[in-house]
Amino acid sequence: MTKRSYLTTPLYYVNARPHLGHSYTTIVADVMKRHRLQRGEEVVFLTGTDEHGEKIEQMAKTQDRPVMDFVNEVSADFRATWEKMGISFDIFYRTTQLDHVAKVKHALQTLKDKGEIVFREYEGLYCVGCERFLTESELNAKGLCPDHEKKPEPRKEANYFFLMSKYQGAILAHIEAHPDFIQPEQFKNETVSFLKQPLGDLCISRPKARLTWGIELPFDSNYVTYVWFDALLNYLCATGWPENFDQGMWSECTHLIGKDILKTHAIYWSAMLLALGVKPPKHLQVGGFWLIDGTKMSKSLGNVVRPLEMEEKFGKDTLRFFLLREMSFGLDATFGIESYVNCVNAYLANGMGNLVSRVLTLCQKNFKGSFPETSLTDADRKALEKRAQTVVAWDKGFSELKFQNSLKAWSELVTHVDLYVNEMKPWALAKDPALSDRLQTVLGVCLQLIQTMAVLIYPVLPHASRETLQAIGVEKDPAASVDLALENRFEFKVSLTVPKLFMRVQAPLD
């Protein structure tokens, strides 16, 4: 039976335009999807936008625009950015879509009926500037709101609470019973230590007096739903829950997120699911932050890098390669144009691009289209062994979320072909007509190795992969099956034009 899986990114807030931080998580999901498709799996990939809440309402107000117009525009920008970057999402989910709103209300009513949601007075320190309650630890040394330099006022507000604290033990037990639920390990440990402290209940409503841009509570029209309670449900609703719940799809669900939203996913979401009688997702895979000058790249800090601009400047798919090569999944990494430029030049322009053009130029002059398997020498067979080894190392990297290791193994294959060419000196063989057969074999081995290199890299560099295969006359689609990577071929119709895969680039001077 075909293995099915379900991959999700966070739903991004529409109070800012897509930046490099968002694209990292989205690219990782896309690369994982393409990798799985090549291995015969069916994959549903969900991304989308989170469109309710105070931040968004405020942002629309500052621009003096109707909130719905504003969220439509920014959501469309996210969608268009991912489309232009070749992100192969299947579902683009918006929390303002009507079916979502209805399902969130259904979830709320179900939990209310089960006694999992209660009405309580809440007393705390309220900052009018922030429009929210602050905790003691958020205040500065003078006891003021650090953003507004004002003393927050004690206020009583009645709200609805989801009895999350009840699930503390059950979440811990789930984590223990499923050691690969939260990955990498450090985030599992962080969650466990957080769960060793007392866990409070979750306030899931906002009075309409201070927020209207949200989903109205089905049991009290004076309130709207807290944005996280609304947004997290997207993952489940997209599987057809509740009426057409595709349990198979849900049971193979992986959420890819950044570490900033670990608590909401590992704890709030797990508790919500357990209360609804649904198992938590199979995996929560947590990435680190892209930093600029030592701080997190974020819209509020204004230090953002736009993904499309990067691709336009440095070449198609180069951002995908760079982000996966540069960041060890789960740890922070620093974004720098210099390292981007070095990476493109070293691995793509001088690496893959140069190799393909070197071998193809030699083939155009000297390759007659085929070579017999029997002509392979021990040295050739040894050189070809690297293909299977690279496939194993590549897949191991993916299964351990160590994309860097996969890309390192792949770059070693590129270097390996270069060394094989240097050693076999096809240009010297070409000078002696008596060595013409040997020359065919040497070039044929290079083409077989290039075939492997192109098929393997497909999830990360889909364009360069297809162009390379086309140029060596391999008509099969690398997206369809990874078996093509190790398919032995003794005939290649090399194209008459050498593809220019990657240009050498320079960092802008400014």
Give the list of residues 6+ apart from residue 310 with CB closer than 8 angstroms, or none.
Answer: 20, 318, 319, 340
Nearer Cβ to ligand ME8, position 297 or 421? 297
Tokens 């982000």, located at residue: 323
Cite the beta strand spans of 179-306 per DSSP E.
182-183, 202-203, 205-207, 216-217, 220-225, 253-258, 283-287, 290-292, 295-296
Q: Which is nearer to ligand ME8, 166 or 296 (CB)?
A: 296
| Selected catalytic residue, list 3, 61, 114, 148 | 148
Annotation says 127 is catalytic: yes
Compute the least distance from the CB of residue 22 to ligand ME8, in Å.
Answer: 5
**Cα–Cα distance between 156 and 46 in angstroms, integer?**
39
- Residue 130 a catalytic site member: yes
Catalytic pick from 35, 52, 112, 145?
A: 145
| CB 469, min distance to ligand ME8, A | 32
Cβ 73 to ligand ME8 shortest distance, Å: 16
> CB-wise, 48 or 499, nearer to ligand ME8?
48
Q: Which positions touch ligand ME8 (CB under 6 A)?
A: 10-13, 21-22, 24-25, 50, 231-232, 234, 257-258, 260-261, 287, 289-290, 296-298
Q: How far is the CB of 140 from ligand ME8 (least distance, A)?
A: 24
Candidate list 19, 35, 52, 255, residue with the active-site label? 19
Asked if 285 and 256 count as a contact pair (C-beta separation under 8 A), the reply is: yes
What residues have CB less than 8 Å from 28, skipping those under 6 apart?
256, 287, 323, 324, 329, 403
For 491, which DSSP code? B
Nearer to ligand ME8, 108 or 261 (CB): 261
Nearest residue (CB) to ligand ME8, 124 versus 240: 240
For residue 296, indicate whether it is catalytic: yes
What sign does the CA torsion over 477, 480, 483, 485 have? positive
Q: Please identify, using beta-carbon distances, which residue of 10 and 499 lies nearer to ligand ME8.
A: 10
Nearest to ligand ME8 by Cβ — which residue? 21
> Which of 193, 402, 174 has its CA nearest to residue 279?
174
State the minimum distance, in angstroms, from the CB of residue 272 to ligand ME8. 11
Phi, psi (deg, nearest 5) at residue 224? -115, 165
Which residue in 22, 33, 52, 103 is the catalytic one? 22
Give the burial class of 25: count Cβ atoms within 10 A of its Cβ; 0-12 exposed, 13-18 middle, 19 or more buried.
buried
Q: 338: exposed, middle or buried (C-beta count within 10 Å: 0-12, 13-18, 19+)?
A: exposed
Given 127, 237, 343, 446, which residue is catalytic? 127
Q: Are strands 132-134 and 117-127 parallel, antiparallel or unpaired?
A: antiparallel
- Beta bridge partners, 224, equal 206, 216
Residue in the block written with tokens 């099969």: 476
Q: Is 431 an annotated catalytic residue?
A: no
Which candidate in 106, 208, 299, 313 is catalytic?
A: 299
Cα separation, 197 vs 199, in Å, equals 6
| Cβ closest to ligand ME8, residue 231 vs residue 454 | 231
Q: Which of 174, 279, 296, 408 is catalytic?
A: 296
The rounded radius of gyration (Å) of the Cα atoms in the chain is 27
Q: What minimum distance in Å lies between the beta carbon of 221 and ligand ME8?
A: 25
Kindly state the smallest distance separating residue 50's Cβ from ligand ME8, in Å: 3
- Minimum CB–partner distance for residue 24 and ligand ME8 (Å): 5
CB of 74 or CB of 355, closer to ligand ME8:
74
List of residues 6+ apart from 63 with CB closer than 8 A: 70
Rounded Cα distance between 464 and 460, Å, is: 9
Helix (H) / strand (E) containing 471: helix 462-471
β-pairing, 182-183 vs 283-287, is parallel
C-alpha to C-alpha distance for 146 and 166, rounded to whole angstroms: 33
The residues annotated with a catalytic role in the active site are: 19, 22, 127, 130, 145, 148, 296, 299
